[in-house]
A and B are shown apart, each in its own frame.
Chain A
């Protein structure tokens, strides 16, 4: 049954990896057999309780799950409206939600007998998480990273190297995340037999959008249990930032069939949507095909991909996971945006009021919360995914505020 006609929003994708018009497998023939092999292996693993048990053990003892659901009382009082909870995925090992996905994929790679791991990274959070699981499972790891990002994320580059990964600078194209993805795909084409590609977000050719979503759904599943314990009911609103969209789909998906739960994704508006310098593919882009899937893209009239801009390197991507594209079109989720300046404000407010330095990525979600919460009643329960911690961002925030560190 196609997701369009199902009476559930959680049925997708179809057997060919499509979410309505979006998703699919747009890759060169060389990769097709391998992608299909990954799909088949994932189907098998998904239905194997031993796979889930092993993953569960690592979630608990290595990652530190479940992450807390924390009532942000001072922020709630400050904004004077909705009751705000943070899902504390920034407390995970490696400091973000990225480890949820890397753990799942490396266990799959091992099942498939692959002996080498590649990954792409923008801000370095996914690269660090991939390098971490590779160290833990003793597999060589090559991380592709745009040379522009290497310059602005030096601490994460060093972390990856400490963890034993090789970081390869990408000099092609705009030398950022999208080019790192291209280069990782090129590596994969040339090393199809021994290499597993750990994609960092819920995008790329099928089965990646579905697989990464499934690995991230632990976020939303935990929230359901935790908010029911805390409040005796489901939240009224769930909100998350969106770059590729993996933390957001992980929070959203378990709530898609609860019609009373409002779902809000916050994209990076950079200098503002009207400036043309942003990373808001859904609110400021159009459908196209890139990196193996059809989705919303930042592109010009000729179908050439244009550069994204965001103060947050983790949101600085001209595409978006295909399931979000579908959820936008069918209207189940709302997609809004927050600018660099709003995210910077939110970043500082959170540090001062809650004693939590958020990553710049969830600071975008928080910026929307700051806008929306005062207009909502006090019995409105809002859960925001605090998907990463901000230690990595202190230098760029210092720069933006004109403070030399």
Chain B
């Protein structure tokens, strides 16, 4: 069983959802980012989403854009993000790790080589934001051969005609984008999230995670009551961006709060 499947299955048995923090790999630099990942783990992260920076992240709001730009300015590349995963993986063999990014850096790296290297580094799944199922063939083969999951995004605009195509070969979990918009801008209403997750469950048995616009422990908890995971990105990346000598402590504290919101949701 993959690390992702094992984690969701264990959580399901324990009757709780996953806390899934997102940070850009290498934000603000390689070493600090590794320290951030450790803090997230210690704070109770159940799965780590690590962003692979791209100069033109069209689905991201200003906060995540800034995080990616800091990582690029610090010399991060796709290869260095894999190094970061490898470094983290050396200390923690259980944590599921998903890379989230855009297709061009993978295309440039070479899909086959990227899939092999990512697997070897300890990556478990990929979210490629601008690669819809219609265009994924060239990545699908290498990724399946390497044994990585392809996590699919489903949006509020995805209608029921289209859902089967999107979910057909999805694996790991399904990521529900809770708003029609970019990351870190608006927040969804919980009624909409509940309705959308309910609809998704009629189409798939995969765990359903919800992200975009979740900023507080309260929102994370509300999501965790109906979904299998809550993704929080911008709120954490904002703390990283604010910097300062106590940045790691603040990120850790916020993550603990969010993890607590998720863990206590169904209590």
Residue ranges of A at the interface with B (Cβ–Cβ < 8 Å) = 16, 24-34, 172-173, 178-179, 182, 185-186, 189-190, 192-193, 287-292, 297, 299, 301-305
Contacts and interface: CB of A to CB of B under 8 A. Distances in A.
Interface string B199-217: 0000000000000000000
Given A178-B56, A190-B180, A302-B77, A32 B108 contact: no
B106 A303 contact: yes
Looking at chain A's contact residues, the main secondary structure is mixed
A373 to B, nearest CB: 39
A104 to B, nearest CB: 24
Contacts of A193: 180
B78 A291 contact: no
A186 B182 contact: yes
Contact of B132 (A25, A172, A297): A25
B158 A29 contact: yes
Contact of B182 (A32, A189, A290, A305): A189
A118 to B, nearest CB: 14
Interface in B4-18: none
B240 interface: no
Interface in B85-136: 102-109, 129-132, 134-135
Contacts of B155: 28-30, 32-33
Contact of B156 (A24, A30, A186): A30
A148 to B, nearest CB: 15
Contacts of A24: 134-135
A303 B180 contact: no
B54 A304 contact: yes
Contacts, number: 122
4 nearest interchain CB pairs? Answer: A303-B108, A303-B105, A30-B155, A190-B181
A16 B133 CA distance: 12
Main secondary structure of the interface of B (DSSP, over half): loop
A29 B61 CA distance: 16
A182 B58 CA distance: 5
B130 A289 contact: yes
Interface residues of B, number: 46
Contacts of A302: 77-79, 105, 108-109
B58 A28 contact: yes
Nearest to A31: B157
25 contacts: A24-B135, A26-B135, A29-B132, A29-B152, A30-B181, A31-B157, A32-B132, A32-B158, A33-B155, A34-B157, A172-B62, A173-B55, A190-B180, A190-B186, A192-B180, A193-B180, A289-B102, A289-B130, A291-B58, A299-B104, A302-B105, A303-B107, A304-B53, A304-B55, A305-B56
Contacts of B53: 304
Contacts of B166: 29
B72 interface: yes
A288 B102 CA distance: 11
A185 B58 contact: yes
B45 interface: no
A32 B133 CA distance: 10
A385 B197 CA distance: 54
Nearest to B177: A30
B108 A28 contact: no
B188 to A, nearest CB: 13
A372 to B, nearest CB: 34
A186 to B, nearest CB: 5
B234 interface: no
Q: For B62, B157, B158, which residue has the most chain A Cβ atoms within 10 angstroms?
A: B157
Contacts of B108: 288, 299, 301-303
A166 to B, nearest CB: 19
